[in-house]
Structure 1
Amino acid sequence: MMQMVNSRAFVVVSFFLTGCVSLFPEPSKEGKRIVLQSLKELRKSHVSLSDIVMIDEPAATGPVATTRISVLRQDEAGLMLQDMLAGTEWPESLPKIIQTHLVEALEYSGHFKGVGRVEDNLKSTLLMIPEIRHFDLLEDQGVFRKVQIELEIKMARSPRRDLLAQRVFKSEAFVTEQGLKGVMMAFNQAYQRILDELVQWVLEAQFKN
């Protein structure tokens, strides 16, 4: 749970999907788990922090709070309808996956005395409070167009939860190949961009009482 590594360490963030062989029109009887791994080297930071950071499970509503993959579909009238991707889901709820990835990313940065989850009940100096606003696949006229991700991050002084900083991170990526592979490539691209910006912001921000 607590881990110290040097600042040149690599962040290994895995995107897990339990997907069926065929997305349309019905899921295959034999499903398979698709694992995408992205290796990304952290940018150098001259900041050296001794804080212990606890990360709360991200708040979320609707499909993004579950194991389902949210799809926003535009109908003929131009209305945006929320649906779920057929036959495919995350192996656990999206908030839990993102919480784990945030813990790993801050651990691997090597700039903190310790990093963990709020449920670990450890004494800490900083608290990260995330919220998932969007984690959606956009479909238009039966074609997957792009993915959009939006996370709000609050940093607070623990244990009083006095707000120190707040920022909204947005990222999107176009689906360049139709099907599950193309969808996951887009999700991974947009997600990695947000993680990179988020970690750098946490490292560079001056959190003061």
Structure 2
Amino acid sequence: MTYNTTALALGASLMAVALGGCGGATPLTFDLAALPPTGRASAAARSFTVAEPVGIQPFEADRIIVREPGGALSFLGGGQWADRLPRLIQTRLIQSLENSGRLRSVSRPGDKVVSDFQLISEIRAFDIAAGSGEAVVDLSAKIIAEGTGKVVAARVFTARVPVPKVDAGTAAVGLDAALARVLGEMVAWVNSGR
């Protein structure tokens, strides 16, 4: 399944203004895209709260990460995400679930909306694997019943997309494509009632 990366292409063309007094330019800012609306209108009776994903410290930033063959992580120069990565993934996951048209409501924990379930996740990988030349997205997710705290379902979602070179623009496009695959699987999983 392929997804339109028009939003990313637009984000890639945006150049941030130069830093005042520093003389250096801010890196290009890239966005990630939500899945497009599906046209379905059969909303279920279930509602979800989507927590911000957690992850190790490098994933808490707004920088694009490269993972070297030995496991070392470094930030890729020349590019950054439009927001902190966990908040950006949370936003695109919420939008993708809303765009599916299959849930009664989707909200953030701070929205104070009563929900049936909470979707929590962890960023296990969101980087360019320099050794294999791939954009890798690996998210683990759990559906928790509100009130009881019982884990209703748990799954790991992984996608790998080849990238022809390791630069900011190519990395951002590859990671956006890998995230689109993961979002597609996550949305189908949540909507399946598991």
Please say whether Structure 1 and Structure 2 have the same fold, judged by a TM-score greater than 0.5.
Answer: yes
Match of 2:79 in 1: 88
Aligned-residue identity in percent = 23
Do residues 55 (structure 1) and 43 (structure 2) align? no
Do residues 155 (structure 1) and 146 (structure 2) align? no
Task: Flag the structure with larger Rg.
Answer: 1
User: Contact conserved, 1:127 with 1:161, CA < 8 A, in 2?
Assistant: no
The superposition leaves residues 86-106 of structure 1 with CA deviations (integer Å, 9 ceiling, x where unpaired) of 242223211000110111011
Match of 1:7 in 2: none
Report matched runs for 1:1-209 at 5 Å.
14-15=7-8, 29-31=24-26, 33-35=28-30, 40-41=35-36, 48-74=43-69, 79-140=70-131, 145-206=133-194
> Shift in Å at residue 19 of structure 1?
7.0
TM-score (structure 2 length as normaliser):
0.80
Letter paired with 2:80: E
The superposition leaves residues 10-57 of structure 1 with CA deviations (integer Å, 9 ceiling, x where unpaired) of 99995557878xxxxxxx923364445758556687975111210011
TM-score (structure 1 length as normaliser):
0.75
Number of aligned residue pairs: 183
User: Contact conserved, 1:70 with 1:83, CA < 8 A, in 2?
Assistant: yes
User: Contact conserved, 1:12 with 1:40, CA < 8 A, in 2?
Assistant: no
Distance 1:151 1:80 in 2: 18
Distance 2:52 2:143 in 1: 13
The superposition leaves residues 124-149 of structure 1 with CA deviations (integer Å, 9 ceiling, x where unpaired) of 11110111111011224xxx811111
RMSD of aligned alpha carbons: 3.1
Name stretches of at least 5 consecutive residues in structure 2 with no aligned partner.
17-22
